[in-house]
Structures are given as C-alpha cells and as structure tokens.
Amino acid sequence: MTLLALKNVTKTFRVNQREVHAVRDVSFDVREGECLAIVGESGSGKTTLANMILGLFGATSGEIHFRDSALPARRPTELRRQIQFVQQNPLSALNAKRSVGASVRLGLETYRIGERAARKAAVEAALEAVGLEPELARRPPGALSGGQRQRVGIARALAVEPSLVVLDEPTSALDVLVQARVLRLLNELRAAKKLTYVFITHDLAVVRNIADRCVVLKEGQIVEMGETTAIFDDPQHDYTRNLIRAVPVVDQTEVQLRDKLGRAND
C-alpha cells in the first residue's frame, strides 16, 4: 500500500532575482514498510524534497499525499507526529543545553503523548530501543560519542511513534564502524516497529545494503527509479553509473563490478 505519494512536485527558489529550480516535476510513491532511498550529488534536490515531505516549506506546484489525502500547507499536530526526521549531524541537531533525556521527551510533550510519569518511562524505553543505557538520559549531548548522539537522534524521532521517518544522511558524519552499527540498528527498528523510511544519501554503497528501492536525482529531476538490485545490476543512466563508480571499494568483486560499469560508460 502507498503511504506517501509525490505528484508532480516542483520547488523553485528566488535567489538574487534569479529562479533556481531545486526540484522539477518529481513524482514517486513510498510503499508502507519499505526503505526508499533518494540519492544524488550535493545540489541535486535531495534535502529540498525531504523538507517538503516534512512540511518545513511547501511545494511551488504539485501535491504530496499521505495515506490517500493531500497534505495541507499547515499540518495538524497529528500529521506532524506521523512524519519524523533524523538529521545528518546529531551534535547540531540536539540542543547542547538540554540533557538527551529532555530532548527525547520534548517530542512527547509537543504531541501531548502520555502523562508526566509515563513520559519518563517512555524516554527510557526509547533510549533502550536504540541500545543506549537509561542513565545517559541525564547527560548533555556533548558528553556522548558521535554514534551515541545519532542513536539519541533516532530515539527522539521514534519516541513519538511515527509511521514515516525521513533520514537525511543519518550516517555520513560517522566513521565506518559506527555507521555499520547504526545502519543495522535502523534496519532492525524498521522491522520491529513496522516503519517506513525515506533515506537520503549520496553514498550508493549504503543504499545498496539498506534500501528496497531508490530514486536517483540529478539537478532536481528523477533520472532513474526502481528496485535497488535492478539499478545496481543494470544502471540505465551514466549519472547513476558514475555515482556507483565513485564509491571507494575494498573487495575484488567490487572492483569487478566497478570495472564492468566503467566499460559500459566508455
């Protein structure tokens, strides 16, 4: 079933009297329970799309449908709760002056979920779900490691029990070992909590291992879209091929795949 549908979405910004077409006539569906990746270089319109899905600003034209009805420009609280966000840099996303427990609790307070006492337990449960000790709730984000902070970012998004989570480069600020653990955690949580992900990244190797389907964006337009395995087996567009080939590889089998794509490009 389709959870989220973008229909001919366009976003134009005015910069110095000039029109910048950040997103041009983009349409795709996100199915319930899937992980859909949006990939492309910097400036391809990935984050603009995310911001529109989150309702941070509206589309210039086109519609975004959530559970069969168009999302209004001013979203009611309940709709905002349903669509949550995990950012790239957890240190700048978390308030340095608040304890991580308070940051996670803020969502519960905003959406009026539970009574005061129940919220404390809910915060502990949310932290535990992402593999953090409940004692960490009293600490400021600055006292945590990068991986722990990103887990807090995930706990905060999931504490309010959303159905759709938009993840904007959630692991690109982390080192590879921490990235591997956070990606695994995201995968487990998606299955356990029946979540749907829109996963934004420029890293095709991450996409290959976490996304069911992907949308490839270039200069605000979709150049390719489909099952992840199909796109990697036989990319149709040079832009996609170059994105895959740019990934640093460690295995001989990867080198072979990259060489194959390289030949197709020449």
Whole-number Å distance between alpha carbons of 3 and 75: 17
Closer residue to other proteins, CB minimum distance, 39 or 71 = 39
Sites for other proteins among residues 24-63 (CB under 8 A): 41-43
The residue type found at 174 is: L
DSSP characters over 23-76: EEEEEEEEETT-EEEEE--TTSSHHHHHHHHHTSS--SEEEEEETTEEPPSS--
Tell me the closest approach of the beta carbon of residue 229 to other proteins, in angstroms: 7
Cβ atoms of 64 and 115 within 8 Å: the answer is no
Tell me the closest approach of the beta carbon of residue 41 to other proteins, in angstroms: 5
Whole-number Å distance between alpha carbons of 156 and 150: 10
Closer residue to other proteins, CB minimum distance, 27 or 172 = 172
Tell me the closest approach of the beta carbon of residue 37 to other proteins, in angstroms: 12
Number of residues in contact with other proteins under rule CB under 8 A:
41
The residue type found at 131 is: G
Closer residue to other proteins, CB minimum distance, 102 or 247 = 247
Tell me the closest approach of the beta carbon of residue 210 to other proteins, in angstroms: 7
Residues in the chain: 266
Sites for other proteins among residues 200-259 (CB under 8 A): 202-206, 208-210, 228-229, 232, 242-251, 253-254, 257-258
Cβ atoms of 119 and 105 within 8 Å: the answer is yes
Closer residue to other proteins, CB minimum distance, 139 or 181 = 181
Closer residue to other proteins, CB minimum distance, 23 or 261 = 261
Tell me the closest approach of the beta carbon of residue 204 to other proteins, in angstroms: 6
The strand ranges marked E within the chain are: 2-15, 18-31, 35-39, 61-66, 69-70, 83-86, 164-168, 196-201, 213-218, 221-227
The DSSP bridge partners found for residue 30 are 4
Sites for other proteins among residues 120-179 (CB under 8 A): 145-146, 172, 175-179
- Residues at the site binding other proteins, with contacts judged by CB under 8 A: 41-43, 145-146, 172, 175-181, 183-184, 187, 202-206, 208-210, 228-229, 232, 242-251, 253-254, 257-258
